Structure 1
Amino acid sequence: MSTATNDVGTSFLADWEAWHAAREAELRRPHGWLSLTALHWLGTEPTTLDDLPGRWWYDDEGTWVEPDAASSSDGGAVLLDGVALTGRTRVGDASGAGVGAVVVGDRVLEILGRGAGNRGVRVRDPEAPGRTGFDGVPTFTPDPAWRLDAVLTPLADAERVAVGSSAERVQHVAQIIGHVRFTYDGAHHSLAVGAGGSIAFRDATSGRETFGLLRFLTVTPDDDGAVVLDFNRATNPPCAFSDYGTCPLPPPENVLPFAVTAGERTPTRPV
């Protein structure tokens, strides 16, 4: 039985408002995307970082930190899974991913890897101006006309497509699992769909009313592949809120020639 029907009904606005409220609540989390204050790319030689205690570096085995006694005694201890570190410790694996929860005070340190030679530490601080000064995400007026019927055609085997990133030094590879095809204003269009039903796209509003690099939309097909592209729920990527994101860019084919005047608009960053 098909479940992806475009039956809006009287609950459309209430459903959208509930979704929008949940979206903003997620952004407001103490260590969510609004809390980013730094992204430090590491080298292979131990070095100090401006806002963090100790010395940091990476090698073939992983990401390392060597805390310094002074900062630890002043309440700036580096903790791994709740235990204060007192000596040279590996906090990330060979891929760059963290091996546990790394914190300094109220700050969460995200240990990350973004391909060969790209090992980093990203800082999430509940007192970040982006979070404390957040007053909501601007949106277009919700409009049921922007719920478009579409069909997802899956690929027999996922395709790997090289895409860029909001961070110049990073290159992402998107896993394309299929394409959604739909009609808008009498013309046929297609968008590549990534893992989990995620669609990264640009349109004629990008860089004007909406964030220039991309927006995201997620689809859930029914058993027959039918989906509804509800552009009212198009969201900004993390890099729209912070300079410390490494967002993948859309596949080249995912640039719509018309203006999608629905969903989230460009957010205002607190000064």
Structure 2
Amino acid sequence: MKYRLQFKQRKLHFLIAMLMGFSLVSCKEEDPEYLKSIEQWHKDRINYLKSEEGFINLAGLYWLEEGSNSFGADSANAVVFPNKANANMGNLILKDSTVYLVSNAAITINGEPAADTTLVYNDSTDVEMRYKSLLWFVIKRGKNIGIRLRDFDNPSLAAFDSIDYYPTNPNLKLKATWRPYDPPKSADFQNMVGMTINYPVYGAFNFEIDGKEYSLEPIGEPEPEGYFVMFYDKTSGHSTYGSGRYLYVPVPDQNGKTIVDFNKAFNPPCAFTEFATCLFPHKENRLPIFIKAGEKFSGH
């Protein structure tokens, strides 16, 4: 009986040791510095969204028609600005993808008083126009040209102070391999305002989750933050934004190695404002699993 008891105890200890070993293999240890870096990343996101270049201050999005587009606070204008603008600010003239400002108010252009008629947009010119707390500039989406308006006194700025997100999961910071396409391909992407825009796709990032291989395709050339990736997963439309989330992946090293860190998955601008034109992920970037990391979404 004593021998059997000792044998059972040894067997139990062996099983416990195996389970402990398995947990060490399957779960990454929490690195305090990494956790701290993700906390800082979340803070930086809030600061960016509330900055002058962020999306919380957006106050309007207007698509221009070919020819003259009157603008100001008067509802009779083609482009109706908020009430803090003058009733009639002037005209924005669109001609063959070039935009001119004809000013009737104390508008500044890049900090200088606007002339009566000023070129404000073409392939080589892109300026900011300002009146009091309002700032606006020309944007181009596909063949469409419009005006994006910011209000630096937007009440939304004071109300916005946090984004809900999943607890940091080190297991979703993944090693990835870059697989370039030769030749590159292109894909059509839909956006929030019903446009279809074609972008080049130069390759895909391959990675594993729980022993299964997945891939994500970035669009276009890398930006300063890295390659831009959009994706859906099984949390989309439930605990996360219904139109998917975004992610930057660092440019791979000379061996094609990089990191896909889903703890830095973030909501598109359209999760915060109706005045954005967010792209949707294409079908190749639908992950058939739950990615419980990064930012959540609970509605505007």
- TM bucket (normalised to shorter chain) is 0.7 to 0.9
Query: Are the equivalent residues in 2 in contact too, given 1:39–1:122 (CA < 8 A)?
Result: yes
- In structure 1, stretches of 5+ residues that fail to align are 1-5
One-letter code of the match for 1:247?
Answer: C
Deviation per CA, 1:29-48: give whole Å up to 9, x if none.
Answer: 03421111100111123232
Q: Distance in 2 between matches of 1:232 and 1:61?
A: 40
Aligned residue number for residue 261 of structure 2: 230
Q: How many Å apart are 1:227 and its aligned residue?
A: 2.1
One-letter code of the match for 1:209?
Answer: S
User: Highest CA radius of gyration, 1 or 2?
Assistant: 2
Structure 1 residues 183 and 113 mapped into 2: Cα distance closer, same or farther (>3 Å)? same
User: Is 1:190 aligned to residue 220 of structure 2?
Assistant: no
Q: Distance in 2 between matches of 1:177 and 1:109?
A: 33
Point out 4+ residue stretches in structure 1 off by more than 4 angstroms: none
Aligned residue number for residue 43 of structure 1: 65
1:27 to 49, 69, 72: 49
Q: How many Å apart are 1:267 and its aligned residue?
A: 5.5
Q: Give 3-state SS (helix, strand or coil) of 1:149's partner.
A: strand
Q: Distance in 2 between matches of 1:159 and 1:105?
A: 46
1:64 to 84, 100, 109: 100
Q: Distance in 2 between matches of 1:213 and 1:19?
A: 22
Q: Distance in 2 between matches of 1:100 and 1:248?
A: 24
One-letter code of the match for 2:118?
Answer: T
Query: Are the equivalent residues in 1 in contact too, given 2:29–2:170 (CA < 8 A)?
Result: no
Structure 1 residues 29 and 184 mapped into 2: Cα distance closer, same or farther (>3 Å)? same
The structure with the largest helix share of the pair is 2
What TM-score do the two structures reach when normalised by structure 2?
A: 0.78
User: Is 1:252 aligned to residue 283 of structure 2?
Assistant: yes
Q: Give 3-state SS (helix, strand or coil) of 2:161's partner.
A: coil
Aligned residue number for residue 119 of structure 1: 145
Q: Distance in 2 between matches of 1:175 and 1:134?
A: 35
1:199 to 201, 204, 229: 229
Q: Distance in 1 between matches of 2:161 and 2:97?
A: 42
1:92 to 121, 141, 144: 121
Query: Are the equivalent residues in 1 in contact too, given 2:126–2:137 (CA < 8 A)?
Result: no
**How many residues of Structure 1 are paired with residues of Structure 2 in the alignment?**
253
Deviation per CA, 1:198-249: give whole Å up to 9, x if none.
Answer: 1110111111111111211111222222222211110111121111111222
Q: How many Å apart are 1:61 and its aligned residue?
A: 5.4
One-letter code of the match for 1:248?
Answer: L
Q: Give 3-state SS (helix, strand or coil) of 1:11's partner.
A: helix
Query: Are the equivalent residues in 2 in contact too, given 1:150–1:182 (CA < 8 A)?
Result: yes
Q: How many Å apart are 1:263 and its aligned residue?
A: 0.2
Q: Distance in 2 between matches of 1:252 and 1:130?
A: 34
2:293 to 231, 253, 262: 262
Aligned residue number for residue 3 of structure 1: none
Deviation per CA, 1:101-156: give whole Å up to 9, x if none.
Answer: 2212222212111122x111110112223322102111111111211222111223
Q: Distance in 2 between matches of 1:57 and 1:211?
A: 37
Q: Distance in 2 between matches of 1:188 and 1:218?
A: 19
82-91 vs 145-154, which moves further: 82-91
Q: Distance in 2 between matches of 1:136 and 1:91?
A: 35
Query: Are the equivalent residues in 2 in contact too, given 1:241–1:267 (CA < 8 A)?
Result: no
Q: Relative CO higher for 1 or 2, CA cutoff 8 Å, sep ≥ 6?
A: 1
Q: Distance in 1 between matches of 2:163 and 2:31?
A: 25
Aligned residue number for residue 154 of structure 2: 128
Q: Give 3-state SS (helix, strand or coil) of 2:255's partner.
A: coil
Q: CA RMSD in A?
A: 2.0
Aligned residues: percent identity?
Answer: 28
Structure 1 residues 143 and 251 mapped into 2: Cα distance closer, same or farther (>3 Å)? same
- In structure 2, stretches of 5+ residues that fail to align are 1-27, 71-78
Aligned residue number for residue 132 of structure 2: 105
